[in-house]
Structure 1
Amino acid sequence: MAKPEPGSVTAAQNWPQALLLVGCGNMAGAMLGRWLEYGLPPERVTVVRPSGRPVADGVTVMTTLPDVIAPDTLVLLGHKPQQLPDIAPPLEARLGAGATIFSILAGVSTTQLAAVIPQAGAHVRAMPNMPVRSGHGVVSLFVDPSVPAHVRDVADLLCRPLGLVAWLEDEALFDAATALAGCGPAYVYRFIDALAKAGEAVGLSAEIAAHMALATVEGAALTAAVSKDAPGALADAVASKGGMTREGLDVLDRADGLAPLIEATLRAARDRGAELARLAAGPGKA
């Protein structure tokens, strides 16, 4: 289904009546920036951040939680996971009826959220990645099957302007999804940098190599996004037998090449998610 243009009436018609961001770091800020650009009325948004720094025109910024959080507010938890044990009690005490917790805290399960913020009507777990700011991100989502369907619908509509919405049926897979899509952009940036440095090593200037590496990855990603062929088939289509591309692919395809390296990378990120969950649970609660 085609997305409406940013700022259009269609884009703006399904926004929550009240959106409270508890924390507004890089990720939460990227999400909010996209939503505002896409048509979210800024007067519906309140951001709680200790610094009190402005966020955007029309958005209310507070240094502490409001005394009362209006009924049916969607509360986005955008602080550090380790801060949850300190933030949850005062948040729980202020929640109005029907409030939904929308958490982007790495490693924090819906069970943990429900245990520390039971007053909320529903708990949605989400993990976006940084390209959500341009609408080309990925947002992994999970809600318990017992949660009313309209909560899932609201979360789905809220995340569609951000990019691909990936619903997970098993929350146990959340750390794996986060390792792939949430952490993945950083790994792609490292690959771009490595490609540029390799180009420099074989004789190109640093400036030309950097520009070529970025443009090459961008073009390849755009091509893969619109192609009916799998990325592996696209790679084989570029690589003729005995040619330059095939010679390079043979290096990447070694038993100790790219695939096991990326797998080890994702496993390390996934396992860190489990560690973050234990930290967020607090001493003796993991």
Structure 2
Amino acid sequence: MIRNFYTLLAVMLLSTFTAYTQVNIPMVSNGGPAGAGSWILFQSGNQNTSIQENFGINIYGDAGRPVRIRNTNLMVGYGPNNAPIGNNLFVSGKIGLGTLTPEAKLHIDGNIYALGSESRFSYQSFVDPHSGAAYGIKVGGAGIAVRGKSVFLDNVGIGTTNPQAKLTVEGNILAKEIKVKTDISVPDYVFEPDYKMRSLAEIENYVKEHKHLPEVPSAKEIGEEGLDLAAMNLLLLKKVEELTIILIEKEKESNCMNTKLEKLTSEVKKLQDKIH
């Protein structure tokens, strides 16, 4: 042990004055903390840190003596001339970037920049119907695919960078079904006995003056403020119900006129028969 210590000390002093010199550090060969294999042990009081050659190189430390790398880059999976050789980096604990207290497997305090053709975030099992691969969230050149419910607390814009509502779409929307929930009253009150409707003469005068139906927004208003689909559909339903009531009344009047006409026709025929 003493000889190895002096040899290591000599190598360290030699490397101080010799640039780019490869040296071989002798290591103890009687087994280390992780089993058989050459190892180096650093002791500071009761704290031990060891580097052991056992299926690669294992570094053992503790919370009070973490392994620190300063003022240099740490390159994993690279060979000569910085050529990537495809080795993996495995960390069993948590990784903190910009933080010393990571709260997850990967905790980043700062921005993320990812460059690649596709990124995947897996959760449970969701199979891509196109590629057959499983993922939770996939971001790639073909777009973004998400499995499960997605919650957006702020406004979302599609085709616009300035969304003015919970969902703002600057373009067309294609859907098989759209269901709108609203607190606007359904106009079944039109059929109540005390409901008062405008007469056809009143509607005619309004249309002549305003060039649109009563209660219906004008073309200018729709162009400036947009069209509320829920409100407009219920308003059109109200107009259809009012029109239905008018048609029912007109049919009653027509039937009454037909009855009177038939009666008059019968009376005229009787008079003609008496004359002849």
Query: What's the TM-score, normalizing by structure 1?
Result: 0.17
Query: What's the TM-score, normalizing by structure 2?
Result: 0.17
Query: RCO greater where, 1 or 2, for CA within 8 Å and sep 6 or more?
Result: 1
